[in-house]
A = this chain, B = another copy of it.
């Protein structure tokens, strides 16, 4: 099942990265994690960040960890020289849409230049298997629903975060066209939520959460007073925005099957793109209600004006991943809320136990 080399995970201390690392370890893969830790908490007295210590405990396996930034080409090369690497799963990126509009250069530098540097090192070291962490934001404003992989990309991306994901997909497309040695799968995530069922790892946003579910959870636990719902006049059943939420464990499992597919000796694919979503949309109010029910807490919320750049409805067709990878999301909204709530109640302030709750 597993080759004799390791899987290198960039951004492996992040939300999606850490859950994927756990599932990969459970599947017998040897894992090397790179992370610059700008969004992960680490006690200076220990060698690896708290989240990966927990992943090690949950899996009973060891992780090789390097604190390296992707723009540090020499540091990156060194890691490749010290290990036999079969494949890279590239999560490392900044991901706050709002911040990307305020600081586009930071996003383009980290997400685009960082990826280019990674790909250059991979090419130099002859490691040409890659799973790329893309996003449904590359579709921009949907021309039709459900969003399938053939939907145009890039045309209506309204923020630098989404554009950075689109640019890197295009770079990868050109890369595999130029060199048939490359074998790349780009996974377009819809809206990852939830946590590992142990409640020991989960999303730990720094500052104000940018996404709905972590915000709802922080209101439920009393860390924030109320949720602002941006727009209740959309053309949707209850007027609030509809999104395709996917359980983080489904998403993590999607990476494992993508990796298996990529490393199959028979694999002749070179550049493939797959949506990872459930294919089912839930409105903001449905999420709030489900979370309220699961947690037994009242979620205070208030309707405010629409947020610029937000779209009414987004959900995917998950058929291609089902047909090609044999992968399908198994967990529903209730699982997402339950696991999220368990993580939140066990870790009201995230990974850093000394952290002061912030509003």
A residues apposed to B, CB below 8 Å:
101-105, 108-109, 112-113, 116-117, 119-120, 123, 152, 154-155, 159-160, 163, 167, 170-171, 174-175, 177-178
Contact = CB atoms under 8 A, between A and B. Distances in A.
A93 to B, nearest CB: 15
21 contacts: A101-B174, A101-B177, A102-B178, A103-B178, A104-B175, A104-B178, A105-B116, A109-B117, A112-B112, A112-B116, A113-B113, A113-B116, A113-B117, A152-B155, A154-B155, A155-B155, A159-B174, A160-B171, A160-B174, A163-B170, A167-B167
Given A104-B171, A113-B117, A163-B170, 9 more contacts: A101-B174, A101-B178, A102-B178, A104-B175, A104-B178, A105-B119, A109-B116, A109-B117, A167-B167
A340 B119 CA distance: 40
A117 to B, nearest CB: 7
Name which of A108, A109, A160, A178 has the most chain B CB atoms within 10 A of its CB.
A108
Contact of A154 (B113, B119, B154): B154
A123 B101 contact: no
Contacts of A175: 104-105
- Give the oligomeric copy count: 2
Contacts of A178: 101-104
A163 to B, nearest CB: 6
Contacts of A170: 163, 167
Contact of A112 (B104, B113, B160): B113
A240 to B, nearest CB: 27
Contacts of A116: 105, 108-109, 112-113
Contacts of A171: 104-105, 108, 160
Nearest to A112: B112
Contacts of A120: 105, 109
Contacts of A105: 116, 119-120, 123, 171, 175
A167 B102 CA distance: 18
A177 B171 CA distance: 24
A196 to B, nearest CB: 35
A167 B116 CA distance: 13
A154 B117 CA distance: 23
A103 B123 CA distance: 11
Contacts of A109: 116-117, 120
A13 B72 CA distance: 29
A324 B102 CA distance: 29
Contacts of A112: 112-113, 116, 167
A155 B155 CA distance: 7
A163 B178 CA distance: 15
A156 to B, nearest CB: 11
A101 B175 CA distance: 8
Contacts of A159: 174
Contacts of A101: 174, 177-178
Name which of A105, A155, A175 has the most chain B CB atoms within 10 A of its CB.
A105
Nearest to A73: B71
